[in-house]
Structure 1
């Protein structure tokens, strides 16, 4: 009997070790995909903003400020009706990706995520026209530190955060509605409130989503379905990517120095 219990204990320990190793690999993949997405977004935003502006008056299609002009591309992106498509298309793509993920292969889902990250770079490229490069870099660094701390908390905490899911979802919907309304109201007070709530909301979502990614893996690791787990990693990367981007953008409203 004692020998049986020993064998059973060793077997359980081996399974636990395999799950821990698999979880580390899964989380590394999530953070790796997210990091590639962030690089694509940053590269696209920086390069597009460079193509959209010029200091040569002969190439100007519009003036930004003293000695700085919009090129034809810049005028198309930032002043034509196309700007509304660029603004809302990433939101549409997120909902489409969530609906399609089960029908996509792992490779197609990863390609969709990278395409989305590049498009997000186009959408965010205007920050280089509005804020100084130094303040953008400083805000990005602060966001990265805060994100790392919040994600670590979500990964290590023993407290179950799943009950906050509905609250966060309603908060995101309310925030989107308020942002759309403020496009037409242009209220500085409402913009400040939106930014403050956005920072708190996406700080909480970072911890919540990290724990949810971990829990999802632990619930499905025993199935051995690598295709499903691969797509779960991509969806997790998208969730954390959106948490980081939104946290960065809301913090930039407080900390960014305008051109």
Structure 2
């Protein structure tokens, strides 16, 4: 799911009438090897990706998932170090109630800023902001070591990783178009956030928390499929825009994929923890 600015471009299935001036769209000039013009039985010319384009898209996809993986590793390391050193507890004692909300506010601010500005900043700058965000997330998530056992955290991470991989492969290989479900997923996310805010001011039952956690898992599973397809589509759109633009898009997509995994992991962890209780 794209949480910031969604770059626009022509769809890869846009077509041209015979005799019209060639519009190369997302695949660039076909004479440069980015795509080939093919005439269908109805006399319509379409631009088809070549092996060069497909390899470029594969490299770009690998880059996005690589950035996401690095960010996850950084989050995990910071969380472990913060827990071992007691840094979060010290920060909370020094800052008081502000210590609970300040990290989350800063994280939300960085995510919004990065999502809105990533296409207009240098790729290296965007990468730094992304890693800073991942480190802050690790600082905040260090509290899970106080709430859950190491075994529960390990099981939740393993389940999430396997589930995430399967969903990603499904999203990249299925012919179903999950991109059409974007508005529904946004509405579902808003409802989930509002529900959790309300539950902060009441005393929810264990069953209610389990239901919310299960809904969260389903929602972010759908978002994982959506973002896998979105990542593939957006790289196709920018295949001919140069390496700097591809790096920027990689950070944008990596942020979306990262958030999908982290949220799915937290809901799986919550569900496992409630079940063990």
Please, what TM-score do these two structures have when normalized by structure 1?
Answer: 0.82
- Is the 1:113–1:238 contact (alpha carbons within 8 Å) kept by the matching residues of 2? yes
Distance 2:225 2:249 in 1: 17
Give the direction of change, closer, same or farther, for the CA distance of 1:190–1:94 in structure 2 (3 Å limit).
farther
Of the three residues 108, 131, 150, the one matched with 1:91 is 108
Distance 1:12 1:96 in 2: 38
Distance 2:223 2:114 in 1: 19
Match of 2:229 in 1: 211
2:57 pairs with 1:23: yes
Distance 1:155 1:131 in 2: 34
Q: Note the C-alpha offset of 1:186.
A: 3.8
Match of 1:4 in 2: none
Match of 1:109 in 2: 126
Match of 1:39 in 2: 73
Of the three residues 224, 242, 257, the one matched with 1:225 is 242
Match of 1:128 in 2: 145
Q: Note the C-alpha offset of 1:32.
A: 0.7
Distance 1:43 1:134 in 2: 17
SS in 2 for 1:202: helix
Match of 1:239 in 2: 256
Match of 1:48 in 2: 82
Q: Note the C-alpha offset of 1:103.
A: 2.5
SS in 2 for 1:256: helix
- Is the 2:92–2:99 contact (alpha carbons within 8 Å) kept by the matching residues of 1? no
Distance 2:224 2:82 in 1: 28
CA-atom RMSD, angstroms? 2.4
| Residues 132-143 of structure 1 aligned to structure 2 (within 5 Å) | 132-143=149-160
SS in 2 for 1:102: helix
Give the direction of change, closer, same or farther, for the CA distance of 1:219–1:131 in structure 2 (3 Å limit).
same
Distance 1:198 1:17 in 2: 39
CA offsets 1:13-63 (integer angstroms, 9 cap, x no match): 99610111111101110111001000110011111111228xxxxxxxxxx
Match of 2:28 in 1: none
Of the three residues 213, 216, 219, the one matched with 1:198 is 216
Distance 1:101 1:199 in 2: 28
Q: Note the C-alpha offset of 1:75.
A: 3.3
Distance 1:190 1:120 in 2: 26
Q: Note the C-alpha offset of 1:192.
A: 2.6
Distance 1:226 1:138 in 2: 38
**Equivalent residues, number:** 233
Distance 2:179 2:208 in 1: 30
Match of 1:168 in 2: 185
Unaligned runs of 5+ in 1: 1-7, 54-69
Distance 2:89 2:179 in 1: 48
Runs (4 or more) in structure 1 with deviation over 4 Å come to none
Bigger fraction of residues in helix: 1
Please, what TM-score do these two structures have when normalized by structure 2?
Answer: 0.77
Q: Note the C-alpha offset of 1:76.
A: 4.1
Greater CA drift, 182-191 or 131-140: 182-191
Q: Note the C-alpha offset of 1:132.
A: 0.4
